[in-house]
Structure 1
């Protein structure tokens, strides 16, 4: 019955916020079978996310260049977006952090609570070896919780590396060469035609246990928030 405690959220919604995509018409059995499919060809997903029931976009490994445009200033920031198989995802994330320097800032993002109100938490000035030790301690949460995302930032360099709630690796800021080299050395290669499962209907998965682990991670990083994460306020 643990499956029934999972949070399921799709990016296809009607005006009320209720899911209106292919998942809406599935029986519990069909949904459980789909959520149990972890491997597509040679690519293995974490437990955090699954593609649409009809697999509109099949997950695969690779990266492509993009850019982030700030709506207010119209500033354009170059970006690398990457998808990596489960077995190498955590190590690649930590290797991507290395070019940021010895001391970094950390941001956590949580969407465990009520629909449409993400929580962002921030910690300044943490030594990378200390951070790495904490991240390894919470590897299961970071890889398998579809409501937890993390970013590591060097404000002076204007660079950032994310492992988002979709478990995509995202690196922002010039130069991108070091990030590209890390990915290629990890057998993640450029593919300008690459599509991510986030670009079609998809579903996230989480649990009350991961909510508790998120709170523990927040405390280990010395973060605090005025927003309370209430398990009873979760939406489906």
Structure 2
């Protein structure tokens, strides 16, 4: 599956040191290398297929499953609450759903690439590209489908500031929609038979581990160039 990202990441990642050592409460602490390798090879939980990007904790505190829920993001700067849809989709449907979601943003959009390659836990770099035509963007993203689905150090956001709305396919391969009036996005999730489950927990809400490899680092650089993102 490629080498492990050099940290164990959970919802408190920003507070973790950059060291590779496993925290005392980690479910990975006492297991053997053989058991760890076997755990990392598991990509199916019932009908749900994980991508190669991330694996849950060894004790399966959160079992990966398909579905979505409604959330709210608090924008402290503007003192407003922004509606959010968060969704997890099985690997074989994930890219198709993402493409349908971003089409709702209009014919011309902005793109943000997120990378944590070479960064310590909880840190990443955002690269921004303004004004790209949707057909060109989608064609490019299909060319890099493997990177976008299976690299645990790569995330992407597509947005239209005029709406304003934003769609993310993050490092954990969760689908996230931000903005007012998200009904059209919810309809797409329903059409793909993702159940609305307000109690659903996502892989980010417990200990988990990311995966990447050197080939994905090179592919990310190629994607940057294709999108006209020459620098950090």
Give the TM-score of the pair, scaled to structure 2. 0.92
Match of 1:145 among 137, 148, 151: 151
Does residue 92 (structure 1) correspond to residue 97 (structure 2)? The answer is yes
For structure 2, which runs of at least 5 residues remain unmatched after alignment? none
1:212 aligns with 2:222: no
Write the distance in 1 (CA, Å) between the matches of 2:200 and 2:183.
19
Q: 1:11 aligns with which of 9, 16, 31?
A: 9
State the Cα distance separating 1:121 from its structure 2 match. Answer: 0.1
Deviates more, 1:64-73 or 1:193-202: 64-73
Shift of the alpha carbon at 1:167?
0.2
User: SS state of the match for residue 93, structure 2?
Assistant: helix
Gaps of 5+ in 1: 227-236
2:87 paired residue number: 82
Contact persistence 1:22–1:53 (CA under 8 A):
yes
- Name the CA distance, whole Å, in 1 between partners of 2:146 and 2:89: 16
Aligned counterparts of 1:102 and 1:16: Cα–Cα separation in 2: 42
Per-residue CA deviations over 1:116-146 (Å, capped at 9, x if unaligned) read 4311000000000000000000000000000
The answer to whether the aligner puts 1:121 opposite 2:127 as a matched pair is yes
Q: Assess if the C-alpha contact under 8 Å between 2:4 and 2:209 holds in 1.
A: no
Distance 1:122 1:16 in 2: 28
1:2-32 per-residue CA deviation (whole Å, 9 max, x = no partner) reads 74x3324323567534431122333322211
How far apart in 2 are the matches of 1:15 and 1:60?
A: 27
Pairing 1:44-59 to 2, within 5 Å after superposition: 44-59=49-64
State how far apart, in whole Å, the 1-side matches of 2:7 and 2:149 are: 17
TM-score of the superposition, structure 1-length normalised?
0.90
Q: Alignment partner of 1:22: what SS?
A: coil
The runs of at least 4 consecutive aligned structure 1 residues that moved more than 6 Å come to: none
How many angstroms apart in 2 are the aligned matches of 1:25 and 1:71?
41
